[in-house]
């Protein structure tokens, strides 16, 4: 991959922090992915935007073969450490963009993608690729943060995310995420759920290595947030919360 984009720049330097990140290493949403993927079963699973492999670590043992795909080499190098530490021997990690998955059409029983799609420069194209590689009847389990329907609150959280991490593209609304998946031929009528992720502001900024000036602007925006934003994101002097969507669909 000759061109280094914002995602590779960001996660190339912060990969190690994600090995121990509680938000990524565990959670009820991760347990839900494991349960759904295992229940569906099959031979092959692909995890798109695998990062350091926390989802792959949990789901790979239930499949004959598992593939983790990520655009950033350093994240995949950290992923090897995570998988080896868990004794996972049937998974491979591949560097590729989510919009060009190096996987045969109709070859995959289950695709997972957790807390990655808000970094996809072209989420619609990525989801079309996921639809392409799924077998008929294949399962897609998708987890990501979502923005409120209110335009001002939508702008607040997405601007905050981009200040903290310039590789952030978009937390869509629930409707927005659903429409993207539906247009990719992966109907999201099977199941859905939401959850809340509480974040400690300073840990969140440290993990992304946000430059001091941008970090201070994040703190300022949280301190001066509107009453509606304080309520929507449960803002306190040291924490805030984002809502997370779990979508389940079939090809």
Tokens of 63: 């499949």
- The predicted model scores a pTM of 0.87
pLDDT in tens, 199-233: 999 999 998 889 999 999 999 999 999 999 999 99
Reported confidence tier of residue 78, pLDDT bands at 50, 70, 90: confident
Res. 145: pLDDT tops 70: yes
SS (H, E, C) the chain: CCCCCHHHHHHHHHHHHHHCCHHHHCCHHHHHHHHHHHHHCCCEEEEECCCCCHHHHHHHHHCCEEEEEECCHHHHHHHHHHHHHCCCCCEEEEECCCCCCCCCCCCEEEEEEECCHHHCCCHHHHHHHHHHHEEEEEEEEEEEEECCCCHHHHHHHHHHHHHHCCCCCCCCCHHHHHHHHHHCCCEEEEEEEEEEEEEEHHHHHHHHCCCHHHHHHHHHHHHCCCHHHHHHCCCCCCEEEEEEEEEEEEC
Structural domains present in the chain: 6-149+166-197+244-250 (3.40.50.150)
Does residue 134 contact residue 40 with C-beta atoms inside 8 Å? no
């Amino acid at each position: 991959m000759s061109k280094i984009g914002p995602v590779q720049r960001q996660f190339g330097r912060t990969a190690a922090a994600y090995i121990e990140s509680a938000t990524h290493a565990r959670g009820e949403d991760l347990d839900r992915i494991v349960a759904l993927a295992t229940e569906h079963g099959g031979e092959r699973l692909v995890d798109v935007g695998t990062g350091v492999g926390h989802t792959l670590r949990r789901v790979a043992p239930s499949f004959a073969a598992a593939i983790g795909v990520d655009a950033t080499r350093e994240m995949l190098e950290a992923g090897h450490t995570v998988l080896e530490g868990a004794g996972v021997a049937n998974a491979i990690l591949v560097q590729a963009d989510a919009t060009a998955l190096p996987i045969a059409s109709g070859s995959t029983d289950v695709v997972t993608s957790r807390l990655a799609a808000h970094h996809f420069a072209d989420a619609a194209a990525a989801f079309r690729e996921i639809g392409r590689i799924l077998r008929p009847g294949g399962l897609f389990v998708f987890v990501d943060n979502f923005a409120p329907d209110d335009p001002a609150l939508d702008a607040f959280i997405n601007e905050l995310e981009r200040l903290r991490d310039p590789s952030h593209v978009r937390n869509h609304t629930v409707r927005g995420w659903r429409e993207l998946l539906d247009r990719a031929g992966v109907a999201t009528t099977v199941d859905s759920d939401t959850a809340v992720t509480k974040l400690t502001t300073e840990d969140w900024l440290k993990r992304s290595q946000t430059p001091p000036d941008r970090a201070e602007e994040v703190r300022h925006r949280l301190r001066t947030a509107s009453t509606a934003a304080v309520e929507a994101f449960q803002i306190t002097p040291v924490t805030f919360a984002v809502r997370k969507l779990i979508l389940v669909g079939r090809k």
